[in-house]
Structure 1
Amino acid sequence: MTHNIVPLQSHHLDDVWRIEQAAHAYPWAESLIRQSPNKIAANYGLEVDGKLVGYCFGQLVAGEATLLNIAIDPAFQGKGFGKVLLEGFLAQLEQQQAEEVWLEVRASNVCAYQLYEALGFNEINRREGYYPSPTGREDALIMTYMML
């Protein structure tokens, strides 16, 4: 099984939209997924044997990167591909001289939180009631990663 981190291209967007809807209880709007990337975009996909199985949307400005959205196709979850994608994202940012990376994660998303923590992200703050949830609102945990 071969996997590659690739810049997201327009031909990936149908798969990105399908994965976005399947992987997130509150998906981004399709217009955001299909929006043309601007010069600060850092959008990558994970291809396994030529098939897009995950993606991430990020941005990089003056050495500070933000991971805006990340997802793995539910059919491929639990196989380590989230780690592969996130490590690939960090490697791409490092090549572009990023100094730090920020992200937010739902407090209830324990698997993602544990992955981020395992890769060196540290929780530094909390936004109370930031995300919608089935029971009302839930907190966003703000995490940061410092490039070495």
Structure 2
Amino acid sequence: MTHNIVLLAPHHLDDVWRIEQAAHAYPWAESLIRKEPNKIALNCALEVDGQLVGYCFGQLVAGEATLLNIAIDPAWQGKGMGKTLLEGFIALLEARNAEEIWLEVRESNTRAYQLYESLGFNEINRREGYYPAENGREDALIMTYLVM
């Protein structure tokens, strides 16, 4: 299998929208997925043998990056694809001289939290009641990664 991290392109967006709905209990609006990226955007895709299996939306401003959204097609989850995608995202940011990467993760998303922690992200804060949840609201854990 050939894995490639590429910049997200318009031809990816139908697959991104399909994965977004399948992978997230509270998906982004389709208009956000299909919105033309601005100059600070760094959106990338993970392709396996030419098939889109995951993506992430990020941005980079003055050395500070933010991971806004990341997802792996549920059919590919549990196979290390999230790690591959996140490592590729970090490498793209390193190449663009990012100094720090920020993200927020649902407190209940322990698989994602463990992945971020395994790659060097550290929890530094919490936003109480940030995310909608089945029984009200859920905290967001704020994590940061210092680019070497």
TM bin, normalised by shorter chain, reads over 0.9
State, as a whole percentage, how many aligned pairs show the same letter. 81
TM-score scaled by length of structure 2: 1.00
RMSD: 0.2
Instruction: Find the aligned partners of 2:64 and 2:32 in 1 and give their Cα distance.
Output: 21
Q: CA offset at residue 19 of structure 1? A: 0.2
Q: CA offset at residue 28 of structure 1? A: 0.1
Q: Is 1:14 matched with 2:14? A: yes
TM-score scaled by length of structure 1: 1.00
Q: Is 1:133 matched with 2:133? A: yes
Deviations 1:75-112 (A, max 9, x none): 00000000000000000000000000000000000000
Instruction: List alignment gaps of at least 5 residues for structure 1.
Output: none
**Partner amino acid, structure 1, of 2:136:** G
**Partner amino acid, structure 2, of 1:143:** M
Matched residue, 2:28? 28
SS at match of 1:123: strand
Matched residue, 1:88? 88
SS at match of 2:139: strand
Instruction: List alignment gaps of at least 5 residues for structure 2.
Output: none
Deviations 1:1-34 (A, max 9, x none): 0000000000000000000000000000000000
SS at match of 2:108: coil
Matched residue, 2:113? 113
Instruction: Find the aligned partners of 2:73 and 2:58 in 1 and give their Cα distance.
Output: 18
Instruction: Find the aligned partners of 1:105 and 1:144 in 2 and give their Cα distance.
Output: 11
